[in-house]
Amino acid sequence: MSCLVLDRKSGGFSFENCYRNKVIEQKGFKLPKAVKTGTTICGVVFKNGIVLGADTRATEGSVVAEKNCSKIHRIAENIYCCGAGTAADTQMVTLMISSQVELHRLNTGRTPRVISPLRLLKRYLYQYQGYVGAALVLGGVDSTGPHLYSIAPHGSTDKLPYITMGSGSLACMSVLESRFKFDMEVSSFFRLEFGYVLASIPLYYSISVMKERYYRCWLSDTNLTIASRPQLNNRPCEGDSCV
Question: Which residues fall within 8 angstroms of residue 24, CB to CB, at 6 or more apart?
Answer: 30, 31, 32
- Quote the pLDDT of residue 119: 96
Fold entry, domain 41-232: Glutamine Phosphoribosylpyrophosphate, subunit 1, domain 1 (3.60.20)
How much is the CA Rg of the chain, to the nearest whole Å? 20
Active site residues: 39
* pLDDT tens-digit readout, 144-161: 888 999 999 999 999 999
Structure confidence at residue 73 (pLDDT): 92
Q: Which spans in 41-145 are helix H?
A: 87-108, 115-128
CB neighbour list of residue 136: distance below 8 Å, 6 or more residues apart: 81, 82, 83, 84, 90, 93, 94, 121, 150, 151, 165
Span 79-105, pLDDT tens digits = 999 999 998 999 999 999 999 999 999
Q: Which amino acid is at 24?
A: I
Dist. CA 118–CA 121, nearest whole Å: 5
Question: How crowded is the C-beta side of 68, counted as CA atoms within 13 Å?
Answer: 2
